[in-house]
Amino acid sequence: MYVGRIVAVGRTPAGKNAVMYRVSSRSFPNRRTVRTPRALAVVPREGHEGDLAKNPYIAYNCLRLAGDPSTGRGQVVAVATNGSQTDPIAEKIASGMGIRDAMVQSLVVLDYEKDDFNTPRIAVAVARGADEGWAGIVRHDGLHVRSFPLEAGKAFYLATYEVADPREDQVSDFEAESAEDAALWVVSGGAFARLEKPVCSAAAVETADGFAVAGYTVPAEG
């Protein structure tokens, strides 16, 4: 089944909170995940930079950490999304706003993507040490943001198509431990293994003082 972009929030079997993001694409498969000074970003693969002229929505920060435990500024929160909403959500949280309100405000202001498919904007976030994770979506026909109680070894997910609503029955087994494991899991583990056209991914997994992050790019065919 093809569901487009995917976000997930969950807890590892060892009790570490996590968020994950995956690009699945039929139209623009030539993308990769890269690390930037403050985020993980989705960008075109080398030689495919011209794709940005066809669709400006295909490159963006997909994962950021909000808050700085060394200064006490904001919560330590991992945020993952499918677009430019990543930055305002993380920045509002870092300034002291709660996750729910930061997600609602950012999704409402940016709205769904004005492309040929009216692609929804999706987002997940979780604070280090929290017992709940958050997921949200803005579509052409509405907005839905809600929390989920976290359970070890489980991850709640939603996507831009087909499973485009945050629901408790959209849950996958989640057996990863590290950020690297989680970035691979959202591509080929649990319920995600049956979802088609994976391109690249990003993940953050809780550590003693924040979150570790990692990206994964599916090897190009041929």
Q: Write the CATH number for 67.
A: 3.60.20.20
Residue with tokens 């499973």: 163
- Output phi, psi for 6, to 5 deg: -130, 140
Residue at 137 is within a domain: yes
Once rounded to an integer, what is the mean pLDDT over residues 207-215? 95
Instruction: Tell me if 76 is assigned to some domain.
Output: yes
The reply to whether 35 falls in a domain is: yes
Question: What average pLDDT does range 82-106 have in this prediction?
Answer: 96
Kindly state the tokens that stand for 6.
Answer: 């995917």
Q: What is the pLDDT of residues 118-177, one digit of tens each?
A: 999 999 999 999 999 999 999 999 999 999 999 999 999 999 999 999 999 999 999 999
Total domain count, the chain = 1
In which domain, by residue range, is 53 found?
6-217
Amino acid at 109: V
Whether residue 66 lies inside any domain: the answer is yes
- pLDDT score recorded for residue 116: 86
**Is residue 79 included in any domain, yes or no?**
yes
Average pLDDT over every residue of 181-200: 98
Res. 11: pLDDT tops 70: yes
The pair of structure tokens assigned to 204 is 């953050």
**57 vs 204, which has greater pLDDT?**
204
Q: At what angle do helices 86-94 and 99-110 cross, to 10 degrees?
A: 150
Q: How distant is the alpha carbon of residue 51 from its chain centre?
A: 22
- In this structure, the number of other CB atoms found within 10 A of the CB of residue 116 comes to 8
The pLDDT of residue 72: 54
Categorise residue 89: left if φ over 0, alpha if ψ from -120 to 50, beta otherwise. alpha
Please give the mean pLDDT across all residues of the chain. 93
- Terminal Cα-to-Cα distance of the chain (whole angstroms): 23
Q: Kindly report the pTM of this predicted structure.
A: 0.94
- 105-119 mean pLDDT: 95
Per-residue model confidence (pLDDT) at position 168 = 93
